[in-house]
Structure 1
Amino acid sequence: MAGTRARSPFLGLLPLPERQAVTRALRTETVGGLVLLAAAVVALVWANSPWSAAYTSVRDFHFGIPALGLDLSVGHWTADGLLAAFFLVAGIELKRELVVGELRTPATAALPVIAALCGMAVPAALYLATVSASDGSRAGWAVPMATDVAFALAVLAVLSTHLPAALRAFLLTLAVVDDLGAILIIAVFFTSGLNLWALAGAFAGLALFYALQRARVRGWWWYVPLGVTIWALMYNGGVHATVAGVSMGLILRTTRDQGETASPAARVAHLVHPLSAGIAVPMFALFAAGVSVSGPTLAAVFTSPEPLGVVIGLVVGKTLGIFAGTYLAARFTRARLNPDLAWADVLGLSVLAGIGFTVALLIGELAFPASETGEHVKAAVLIASVIAAVLAALLLRRRNTVYRRLWEAESLDADADGIPDVYQRAAASSPDHHTEERSHDAR
């Protein structure tokens, strides 16, 4: 099977089970992205209105349980608390990609992984080059490395583009690898004042979580209290609490036992993904995106080295990194681009990946906590994301006629049997196709 997939065209027709899984995931991401856009607009309007003092007061209001080390501001709760749900879903998506998705074999993983790694390395390098030339702070090198797939999909929804499933899946895989990189960066570089006893408790909780999964224990009353405890211990241990979310996502079982209609990971994702996309991420955006859009702030974005490095990293670095990484990986692996597409389509996706909203804002807060530079970096993330969205819109809309034709061809179900006709034609022409499809679905 690996050999068959290795010879299949790059960005060609996805296997049916994978296409269905990607479609379900992206549907929620798209709706969540539209809510995210709305939350960002509300934050900007509120923070720049006559009621801006109320915005600051709400964002900085503290509540919690001081005895447990959890007396946090509203903004802090959204970043450390609610985003744990976002990273839980990210962990589940990463696990799914590793078990049944594009990352499950070296042959299929090589190209998107190389593209994503280049899409992280080049923006970081351009940021460092920019701040080094002006003697700026290198602390924000990781800010332009992240792609916000929900925001990107919301842009596609607003544009009413009809990207084929393979292009959307490639964008999703890039974002999943990006999220893994961001998690590792947060865990390694933004950890301070370690409390070893609390961390030991968090890891013991994760071990228990794993044991419960292995023992096939079911019931939310086991996992919800345990998950909250792991999160609290991780936070008090000095490691960013979102690491707890992704750790639990990676532990959840993604394969179905006999008699199960869905795996534990799929069930949790079905329940948590709408809450993450519709509540957690928009709430974080509401209290993270409220930056001043005054003349001095906008001027600082393009004159101060740190925010300028972020803009260059996201808009230029992401485009160069992902496109060059994809092209070189395709040449190296001798992957054949889908003849119905062109490298201009990969360029459009590369530009779209410059939208780095949620995780970029989170890393910006961690790199420049409660500082004027941090506010300028936030503004830079917003401006860079808008620039990337506009440029991607221009590139992708030019090709929308091609996308619409491909999308209609891969979605047509003339006999209304729930299976697109293109898969039935492929099965008729390839006796091994059904075997591969059943094997893939069994995983």
Structure 2
Amino acid sequence: MLRIPSSGCSPIWACDLSDEQVPKAFDLLSRESRAPHNFLERFVRVEARAAGLILGAAALGVFIASMPFGADFTHRLETSHLRSIISEVAVTGFFLLVGLELRREAAHGALSGAIARVLAFAAVAGMAVPAAIYLLLVRSPSTPGASSGWVAVVATDIAVATAIIAISGGGAKSRTAHLRTLLLTIAIFDDIGAVFALALFGSDAPNLLLVTVILAVVAAYAALAKRLHLGGWAVAAVAATVCILSIQAGLHPSLAAFAVGCAVPRVKAPGTKEPIDERIERGWHPWIAGILLPLFVFVNTLVPLTLRAGSPAILIAFTAVAILLGKVMGVGGVLLMARKSLKISVGEAITLGIAAAAALTVAIIGVEATVAGTVNAQPVSIGILLATLIAVVAGITVGRATNRKQVSSSTSREL
């Protein structure tokens, strides 16, 4: 049985490792000596390491689905309801983390000020432009009923995106850390937008009575948690409750889970040095990012590369183009205009835009919420995988080229 860790226990991918120390990842005894002092840096490191598991899970899902036994395997997952259970648990855990991160960043003032407003605008542009391109492309008579899939093209997978920045950064650690910080802030605003997009466009007409009950449960938890210093198990119980109620109410569970994360109190329990919200996030984050999300990606990328009858192949290209072009134009364009204020180069702005096009996990959540069960689900999913693959290769290539150019320019000035 999997035990949810306390603040002192985390999976290996949560360890704080420098680039030179990665081969020593299994040296568990020295894990604590490498614990990062910066919460943001720890968060990004966990995401970057989980990216390998997420990409591997996606590749494995496509591989199994393309095998002769793939259809039977997928059918068994569906009929046993295991796929839906994994999906709902992973989605709830993910958006709970988003709520926790938003609360922590807001408390530290990281989401206020002129720079944060620029990054928020970049996130909004990074959602609006891909959606607009997608909706423009799917007006074609060859893709009927595909318009609701726009929700799937607006998101950024922070795990894969941060891995792109980490790999492309080379030895320029200070620059990599700066770019990661910018990217994470954009991703927080991006995730907030995804929450409301899923809630508004990925849900049926809600049962208002159950919605009222959900609000009451979250409000009661918020009041009691601060007074009684309720910890992780209370959060898990409340999150599970609102997830079940949301499904029964016809709502996507993302918004309710997000609300629970925001409601976790930022107070210190007696005898502890760390606020409850940070302790829960630090303990749970590696397990959600490193286990639940890869499982979610695996069961939802059981997509054979051979399209079934009636699925429009052109939708693969439409989806990939909307994500790649939209993110580079939206996120990269805004960062390019504000590069002097953000202290980044043209190449770094473009690299961040490309990295934002890694739209794997949240994009698949969007597919499940909007076009699942239709002939459009498979081509949209393949388009997401294609866009993510291109973003990884292009992001690392452009990032490394930019880094080499900056190192060369710096060396020339010194000489």
In the superposition, the TM-score normalised over structure 2's length comes to 0.82
TM-aligned CA deviation for residue 134 of structure 1: 4.3
TM-aligned CA deviation for residue 58 of structure 1: 3.3
Conserved in 1, the CA contact under 8 Å of 2:65 and 2:304? yes
Q: Which has the larger radius of gyration?
A: 1
**Cα 1:78/1:234, change in 2 over 3 Å:** same
- The alignment status of 1:313 with 2:334, answered yes or no, reads no
Whichever residue aligns with residue 149 of structure 2, its letter is: G
Conserved in 2, the CA contact under 8 Å of 1:19 and 1:165? no
Conserved in 2, the CA contact under 8 Å of 1:307 and 1:376? yes
Conserved in 2, the CA contact under 8 Å of 1:311 and 1:380? yes
Runs of 4+ in 1 over 6 A off after TM superposition: 402-405
Which whole-Å CA distance do the structure 2 matches of 1:107 and 1:55 have between them? 51
1:129 aligns with 136
Which whole-Å CA distance do the structure 2 matches of 1:256 and 1:132 have between them? 53
**Cα 1:57/1:351, change in 2 over 3 Å:** same
TM-aligned CA deviation for residue 268 of structure 1: 0.9
Share of identical aligned residues, percent?
27
Corresponding residue pairs, total = 369
TM-aligned CA deviation for residue 257 of structure 1: 7.5
Conserved in 2, the CA contact under 8 Å of 1:130 and 1:308? no
Whichever residue aligns with residue 123 of structure 1, its letter is: P
- The structure 2 residue matched to 1:288, chosen from 300, 314, 324, is 300
Which whole-Å CA distance do the structure 1 matches of 2:388 and 2:87 have between them? 20
Name whichever of 42-51 and 224-233 sits farther off.
224-233
Conserved in 2, the CA contact under 8 Å of 1:128 and 1:309? no
Instruction: State the SS of the aligned residue for 2:273.
Output: coil
Alignment of 1:31-180 (within 5 A): 31-62=49-80, 73-103=81-111, 105-134=112-141, 136=143, 137-156=146-165, 161-162=170-171, 163-180=175-192
1:396-437 Cα offsets, whole Å, 9 max, x none, are 1113347889xxxxxxxxxxxxxxxxxxxxxxxxxxxxxxxx
Alignment of 1:213-224 (within 5 A): 213-224=225-236
1:68 aligns with none
Conserved in 2, the CA contact under 8 Å of 1:37 and 1:154? no
Conserved in 1, the CA contact under 8 Å of 2:57 and 2:297? yes
**Cα 1:142/1:36, change in 2 over 3 Å:** same
2:335 aligns with 326
2:9 aligns with none
2:203 aligns with 191
- The alignment status of 1:348 with 2:366, answered yes or no, reads no
TM-aligned CA deviation for residue 159 of structure 1: 5.4
1:224-251 Cα offsets, whole Å, 9 max, x none, are 3333222211221111112222111111
Which whole-Å CA distance do the structure 2 matches of 1:31 and 1:169 have between them? 16
TM-aligned CA deviation for residue 170 of structure 1: 0.8
Conserved in 1, the CA contact under 8 Å of 2:203 and 2:369? no
**Cα 1:78/1:19, change in 2 over 3 Å:** same
1:69-118 Cα offsets, whole Å, 9 max, x none, are xxxx2221122222211111111112222221531x23232110011111
Conserved in 2, the CA contact under 8 Å of 1:80 and 1:242? no
- The alignment status of 1:360 with 2:378, answered yes or no, reads no
Conserved in 1, the CA contact under 8 Å of 2:211 and 2:249? yes
1:265 aligns with 277
TM-aligned CA deviation for residue 157 of structure 1: 5.1
1:132-184 Cα offsets, whole Å, 9 max, x none, are 24463311122111000112233445557355211001111111111100100
TM-aligned CA deviation for residue 219 of structure 1: 4.2
TM-aligned CA deviation for residue 267 of structure 1: 0.9
Conserved in 1, the CA contact under 8 Å of 2:92 and 2:239? no
Unaligned runs of 5+ in 2: 1-35, 409-415
**Cα 1:221/1:319, change in 2 over 3 Å:** closer
**Cα 1:222/1:357, change in 2 over 3 Å:** closer
**Cα 1:337/1:250, change in 2 over 3 Å:** closer
Whichever residue aligns with residue 325 of structure 2, its letter is: V
**Cα 1:355/1:397, change in 2 over 3 Å:** same
1:13 aligns with none
Instruction: State the SS of the aligned residue for 1:27.
Output: helix
1:374 aligns with 377
Which whole-Å CA distance do the structure 2 matches of 1:82 and 1:316 have between them? 29
Conserved in 2, the CA contact under 8 Å of 1:147 and 1:359? yes
Unaligned runs of 5+ in 1: 1-17, 63-72, 406-443
Whichever residue aligns with residue 85 of structure 1, its letter is: G
**Cα 1:221/1:259, change in 2 over 3 Å:** closer
Instruction: State the SS of the aligned residue for 1:147.
Output: coil
Whichever residue aligns with residue 327 of structure 1, its letter is: L
In the superposition, the TM-score normalised over structure 1's length comes to 0.77
- The alignment status of 1:228 with 2:237, answered yes or no, reads no
Which whole-Å CA distance do the structure 2 matches of 1:367 and 1:230 have between them? 21
TM-aligned CA deviation for residue 255 of structure 1: 5.5
**Cα 1:135/1:44, change in 2 over 3 Å:** closer
**Cα 1:19/1:171, change in 2 over 3 Å:** farther
Whichever residue aligns with residue 380 of structure 2, its letter is: V
1:16-54 Cα offsets, whole Å, 9 max, x none, are xx9812211011111211111121121111111122134
Conserved in 1, the CA contact under 8 Å of 2:320 and 2:387? yes
Instruction: State the SS of the aligned residue for 1:164.
Output: helix
